[in-house]
Amino acid sequence: MSSYLAPRRDAEAEIEVKRSRFLCTVVRVEDEAAARAVVARLRKEHWAARHHCSAYVLGPDAAVERSSDDGEPAGTAGAPMLEVLRGQAVCDVVAVVSRWFGGTLLGAGGLVRAYGDAVRAGLDVAGTQRRDLLQELVLELGHVDAGRIEGELRRRGITVLAVDHAEAVTLRLGAAPADVPRLHALVAELTSGIAIATPAGERWVDSLGA
């Protein structure tokens, strides 16, 4: 897997069904601890709500999936929320729907539709951001040439992940696996073959083009 979708931004969206309010909060998270912390925060923040149902999908390959009905009839809240996340193929996300009961029972089908619609509304506001798996390479340069070379690399489409100024200037570069040979060729051209970018692992980054 070389790319996946994550929320572009944290977001809220609210729908109303027969006077029950369903407030969906969508947050981008990195792990289960962060997802659980979001649920706990919203439970305190919206203390008057009767339910705080949740679903989350974590990891580039959606390796971790969890959902909770939080007191709603089994399978009427967390499961449909999780299905919406799966259907939109979004990962590294937690969706929490806080419900204020409006006095009218919705029935199982009504709850399934309401919780699913609330998450769809939340994702519409959040949008999605593609993340790409890049090869990370380190390039050390002298201060005199570093600015020019960094600018040329950026202009030619090379991702500069970080720049460290010390005794020498260290550029952390990112490239898709297929673009690594081109990166090496550019470095050789711009430094007259003096400098070499050395491999330093892999990193997931937000795609600039998404």
- Asked if residue 209 has pLDDT above 60, the reply is no
CATH fold for the domain made of 132-206: Alpha-Beta Plaits (3.30.70)
Confidence of residue 2 (pLDDT cuts 50, 70, 90): confident
In the DSSP assignment, the letter for residue 91 is -
| Secondary structure element (H or E) that encloses residue 57, with its range | strand 51-58
Output the pTM of the full model.
Answer: 0.85
CB contact set of 86 (below 8 Å; sequence gap of 6+): 57, 62, 65
Three state DSSP letters for 168-208 = CEEEEEEECHHHHHHHHHHHHHHCCCCCCCEEEEEEEEECC
d(CA 108, CA 111): 5
| Secondary structure element (H or E) that encloses residue 48, with its range | none
How many angstroms separate the Cα of 161 from the Cα of each of 8, 141, 183? 19, 15, 14
120 alpha-carbon distance from chain centroid: 16
Backbone φ and ψ for 122, nearest 5 degrees, come out as: -65, -40
In angstroms, how far is the first alpha carbon of the chain from the final one?
17
Q: Average model confidence (pLDDT) for the chain? A: 95
Give per-residue pLDDT as tens, 19-68.
999 999 999 999 999 999 999 999 999 999 999 999 999 999 999 999 99
Task: List the chain domain ranges.
Answer: 3-126, 132-206
| Secondary structure element (H or E) that encloses residue 77, with its range | none
Over residues 62-87, the mean pLDDT reads 97
Residue with tokens 């996300």: 93
CB contact set of 94 (below 8 Å; sequence gap of 6+): 26, 27, 29, 34, 35, 38, 39, 54, 55, 56
Phi-psi region of 28 (alpha: psi -120 to 50; beta: other; left: phi over 0): beta
For the chain, give the percent of residues with pLDDT over 70: 99
Residue 210 has a pLDDT of 47
CATH fold for the domain made of 3-126: Ribosomal Protein S5; domain 2 (3.30.230)
